[in-house]
Structure 1
Amino acid sequence: MLFNSFSFILLFLPITALGYFALARRSQVLAAGWLAAASLFFYGWWSVEYIPLLLASIGFNYLAGRRIGHGAGAVKWRWLALAVGANLLLLCYFKYADFLIAGVNAVGGADWPLWHVVLPIGISFYTFTQIAFLVDTYQGKVKEYRFVHYLLFITYFPHLIAGPVLHHAEMMPQFERKESYRLSAANVAIGLSIFAIGLAKKVLIADNLSPHANFFFNQSDPQGLLVAWGGVLAYAFQLYFDFSGYSDMAIGISRIFGIRLPLNFDSPYKSVNIIDFWRRWHMTLSRFLRDYLYIPLGGGRRGDVRRYLNLMLTMLLGGLWHGAGWNFAVWGLLHGAYLMVNHAWAALAARLRLPTGAPPWRLASVGLTFAAVCFAWVFFRATDFARAVAIVGAMWGHDGIALPASLAGHLHALRPLLDKLGVTFYIGGGTRFVQTWLWVLVAAAICFTMPNTQQIMRRCEPALDFRAGAGGAWSLPAVPLTWLPNRRWAVALSVLMLACLLSLGRPAEFLYFQF
């Protein structure tokens, strides 16, 4: 079931909420059980056959967690190794079996048949969530083991399919609080407001960028520089508004139930460097990779060489987490290299006392960081490695600069300059070219000049658990928008929601569902 569907908005969500608060009057356990059952129904809407797998994973990890929590010494370690290994084996089977077989065939000249394993939706997210639970239990951070709460923690439908990746310690205490089971007009108003903003990101922006990004990445003809950048930017903004919109909707839905999910996006395209980008993009995954991979590997505690190796390995595995393919591996390695360069440059800039805080410098840094991120997105999105290389070449001008022939008449006054720049004109594609760049410019204006969701909702910041900005971002002065519980905002968000509902048509899946 999609958040951006009539069945969810008009049926599932209100029925689930009404049942939850009605049962909460009698028993918190019944209310939690109802919400867990509704979450399983939500998951089963996609594929009923994978509910037993999900429940088996939950049961195994819950029992393993209890053994770890009540064990001592070597027993705790053995149970942790067993449980984490079992989770990784399950993930490898469903996500990487065919990738590994194809790799063995390519390297060893074998001809093993592929298994064509179907990837259960959400398995990457609920596997990582449970690995974090096991490690936290081993470290003594888990204090509460009520099964109904653990079941709800894993299956909780706002985050089950595409995150955010949650910590046990930030969710389980909320399921114990009486306030979480009381219907609150403030929670409903705030939750619906955040949901409306997220839905608008998905339906009104991301879904309108999608046809242009898909058209570009799915064709094989040579591309000029402007066409290539238009297609890549369309995907960059589509991905941002799609996943950021999902995360906002998840936070908003959860708030209706009195539960606070962590922030997952904080204007990442405004980051002044790659380090800051990863503090702002998919923040819960970045936190997981840092806490459960980078730091256990040694982090930066053992010198620069070891730090750089740890960064590369962490980002490589982060890339492969997104998908079983060499494109994702290259994407991860690129970001690992970016982080290495960023750390080295930061040390050099500090030594030379360069004015990196000056506005012109920060503006240039935002542009360079965004360009580097877009360059890496090519490998993330391209259908194969050869296509990604061709697109990168076009972005560098390898195929020249070309414009649609239908624009030639409108650019007659600029022809001398265009001729000097080597601009050529090709037949067809004029409408697509113009529409792509118009949507890119609209998305860029919203992304770089408008406040993000937590800035709009900053009056609710303490209640929303939105963290403060990392302090590294730079942007043009944002439009001053601050949410208030008044009639003006109610009307504005109602109009926004109506526009989204009228645009739903055939709901489009979220991009991160494939991971």
Structure 2
Amino acid sequence: MLFNSYPFILLFLPAVLAGYFWLGRRSNLAPVVWLALASLAFYAIGSWQFLGLLLISIAFNYGIGHLLIAAELTPRQRKAALVLGVVGDLLVLGIFKYAGFVTENINALAGTHVAVHILLPVGISFYTFTQIAFLVDAYRGRVAAYTLPHYALFVTYFPHLIAGPILHHKDMIPQFEREETKHPDAHLMLCGIIIFAIGLFKKTCLADGIQPLVALAFEARSPSFDQAWCGVLAYTFQLYFDFSGYSDMAIGISLMFGIFLPVNFNSPYKASSIVEFWRRWHMTLSQFLRDYLYIPLGGNRRGRVLRYANLLVTMLLGGLWHGAAWTFVVWGALHGAYLCVNHAFNALVPNVPAPLARPFRIAGAVLTFLAVVVAWVFFRAERIDWAMLILGAMADPATIVFGRDEIAALVMVAIYGALIWLAPNTQTIMGYDHGNRQVGEALRAGRLRPLFLYAASLALAFGILGIQSHSEFIYFRF
């Protein structure tokens, strides 16, 4: 089921909210069970054939976690339990996500013709990483004993289940346990609706609106210079508003239940360095890769050379997490190389003189954006040779056409760029503070009414009117 669909907006979400708060007047546990069952139903509506796999994953990881938390095990037994849990999770993820990719490469090397076609379960990357973090923290002694209903809701919580953010047990389960979240809060409900409306508008009007221009670069046999740039920038902005829209909608839906989700998207194209970009783009994935891969590999504790090697390995695996294809490997390798160059530059130029700080930041922002755009070509292209063809066209101004269609596309791309760089993001507009559990304080004080509410109503109306028959979020594929 899609957030940007009439059945979800008009039927599923109101019914789940009504049941959650009705049960909240009678019990503290019943709403948790209800929301977990509703989340499983949400998943089953779109991927019923993989519901069993999700349930087995929850039972397996909860059991391993219970051993690590409650059982009196020796250090060797604890380590064996952790290895069993993590290897089991990665094995399932590997079979479903990478078996076909590995088989294709073996066929290419050995000249065989083995065919493997396995349907990828929706959301498997997100709920697998969420549970691996839980197991590692349980092994480190950082997890309290949780009941099965609370753990199941933590994994299946439908605002995040399909496309993130990657949740952390220490942040989410205590919220599910609090009694006050089981009672409706008019302020949080209003803020949730407004944030959801903004996200819906971003998805159905902005992301879906510019999507046709992507074909100029990625579906043309021989794009010209201007077509390649317009198409690649169109995809750059489509992906931005698609992911930003999903992140807003997830936060908005969760706020209606009184639950604060972590921010996962924070104006990444405003970053002045690639390090800052990864602190703003898919923020929970960046934190996971840092805490559960980069730091365990040694981080920056073993010298500069190993630090760069750890960065490259981390980003290569981050690229593979997004998809089983060599294009994603190249995308991850590029970002790994970008990060190495960025850290090397920071080591050589630790302090920029004050008069040059602003020009340096502007130059850094332009260079970072261009580097990200180049990497997105590999992220979107079907094959590496297609990506190289597009990049070749982007580097060859002699092929410029600049006809009426290209001018119209350029104007549209410019408008989208102005929105991204000049308009405030949703967190700024709504004052969303996940850490302090605050949102919409200006709205509560009456400083944004009534004009802001009219604008939010228009965003919701246009967002609903812009709903297409079937328009998945791009991150559903990962």
State TM-score, norm by structure 1: 0.89
Aligned to 2:442: none
Aligned to 2:87: 85
The CA distance in 2 between the partners of 1:464 and 1:235, in whole Å, is: 34
Q: Secondary structure at the match of 1:300?
A: coil
Change (3 A) 1:500 1:331: same
For residue 509 of structure 1, the aligned residue among 469, 472, 477 is 472
Would the aligned equivalents of 1:144 and 1:172 in 2 still touch at CA under 8 Å?
no
Change (3 A) 1:68 1:356: farther
Letter in 2 for 1:400: A
- Aligned ranges 1:19-168 → 2 under 5 Å: 19-70=19-70, 71-107=73-109, 109-168=110-169
Residue by residue over 1:57-114, the C-alpha shift from the partner in whole angstroms, topping out at 9 and shown as x without a partner, is 000000010011123411111000001000000000000001111111222x241412
The CA distance in 2 between the partners of 1:201 and 1:322, in whole Å, is: 22
2:170 corresponds to 1:169: yes
- Aligned ranges 1:113-512 → 2 under 5 Å: 113-221=114-222, 223-350=223-350, 353=352, 358-397=357-396, 400-404=398-402, 407=403, 430-431=404-405, 433-458=406-431, 463-464=436-437, 484=447, 486-512=449-475
The CA distance in 1 between the partners of 2:203 and 2:173, in whole Å, is: 30
Per-residue deviation, 1:463: 5.0
Change (3 A) 1:460 1:53: closer
Per-residue deviation, 1:29: 1.1
Structure 2 unmatched runs, 5+ = 440-444
Change (3 A) 1:99 1:403: same
Would the aligned equivalents of 1:68 and 1:75 in 2 still touch at CA under 8 Å?
no
Would the aligned equivalents of 1:218 and 1:383 in 2 still touch at CA under 8 Å?
no
Per-residue deviation, 1:227: 1.4
The CA distance in 2 between the partners of 1:356 and 1:200, in whole Å, is: 40
Letter in 2 for 1:100: V
The CA distance in 2 between the partners of 1:38 and 1:269, in whole Å, is: 36
The CA distance in 1 between the partners of 2:434 and 2:138, in whole Å, is: 30
The CA distance in 2 between the partners of 1:17 and 1:194, in whole Å, is: 17
The CA distance in 1 between the partners of 2:434 and 2:112, in whole Å, is: 57
Per-residue deviation, 1:439: 2.2
Would the aligned equivalents of 2:200 and 2:464 in 1 still touch at CA under 8 Å?
no
Structure 1 unmatched runs, 5+ = 408-429, 467-481
The CA distance in 2 between the partners of 1:279 and 1:357, in whole Å, is: 24
Give the share of equivalent positions with the same residue, in percent: 51
The CA distance in 2 between the partners of 1:484 and 1:262, in whole Å, is: 25
Letter in 1 for 2:371: A
The CA distance in 1 between the partners of 2:421 and 2:149, in whole Å, is: 43
The CA distance in 1 between the partners of 2:426 and 2:446, in whole Å, is: 10
The CA distance in 1 between the partners of 2:129 and 2:305, in whole Å, is: 28
Per-residue deviation, 1:461: 6.5
Aligned to 1:416: none
Letter in 1 for 2:238: Q
Number of matched residues?
Answer: 471
The CA distance in 2 between the partners of 1:123 and 1:215, in whole Å, is: 32
Change (3 A) 1:403 1:169: same
Per-residue deviation, 1:484: 4.9
Residue by residue over 1:183-213, the C-alpha shift from the partner in whole angstroms, topping out at 9 and shown as x without a partner, is 0001101111111111111111100111111
Residue by residue over 1:24-48, the C-alpha shift from the partner in whole angstroms, topping out at 9 and shown as x without a partner, is 1111211111111111111011121
Would the aligned equivalents of 1:459 and 1:483 in 2 still touch at CA under 8 Å?
no
RMSD after superposition = 1.7
Per-residue deviation, 1:400: 2.1
The CA distance in 2 between the partners of 1:483 and 1:391, in whole Å, is: 50
Residue by residue over 1:136-157, the C-alpha shift from the partner in whole angstroms, topping out at 9 and shown as x without a partner, is 1111111032000001001100
The CA distance in 1 between the partners of 2:240 and 2:269, in whole Å, is: 9
Would the aligned equivalents of 1:331 and 1:379 in 2 still touch at CA under 8 Å?
yes
Between structure 1 and structure 2, the one with the greater Rg is: 1
Change (3 A) 1:183 1:238: same
The CA distance in 2 between the partners of 1:17 and 1:273, in whole Å, is: 41
Letter in 2 for 1:445: A
Residue by residue over 1:9-32, the C-alpha shift from the partner in whole angstroms, topping out at 9 and shown as x without a partner, is 111111100000001111121111
Q: Secondary structure at the match of 1:47?
A: helix
Q: Secondary structure at the match of 2:400?
A: strand
Per-residue deviation, 1:215: 4.4
Letter in 2 for 1:49: Q
Q: Secondary structure at the match of 1:296?
A: helix
The CA distance in 2 between the partners of 1:442 and 1:72, in whole Å, is: 61
The CA distance in 2 between the partners of 1:45 and 1:464, in whole Å, is: 31
Change (3 A) 1:4 1:483: farther
Would the aligned equivalents of 1:125 and 1:163 in 2 still touch at CA under 8 Å?
yes
The CA distance in 2 between the partners of 1:91 and 1:356, in whole Å, is: 51
The CA distance in 2 between the partners of 1:357 and 1:178, in whole Å, is: 53
Would the aligned equivalents of 1:459 and 1:484 in 2 still touch at CA under 8 Å?
no
The CA distance in 2 between the partners of 1:84 and 1:121, in whole Å, is: 20
Would the aligned equivalents of 2:217 and 2:390 in 1 still touch at CA under 8 Å?
no
Residue by residue over 1:242-299, the C-alpha shift from the partner in whole angstroms, topping out at 9 and shown as x without a partner, is 0111011001100100111000011110101001100110000000000000000000
Per-residue deviation, 1:355: 5.2
The CA distance in 2 between the partners of 1:498 and 1:343, in whole Å, is: 45
The CA distance in 2 between the partners of 1:214 and 1:244, in whole Å, is: 21
The CA distance in 1 between the partners of 2:117 and 2:81, in whole Å, is: 31
Letter in 1 for 2:411: L
Change (3 A) 1:54 1:465: farther
State TM-score, norm by structure 2: 0.95
Would the aligned equivalents of 1:311 and 1:340 in 2 still touch at CA under 8 Å?
yes
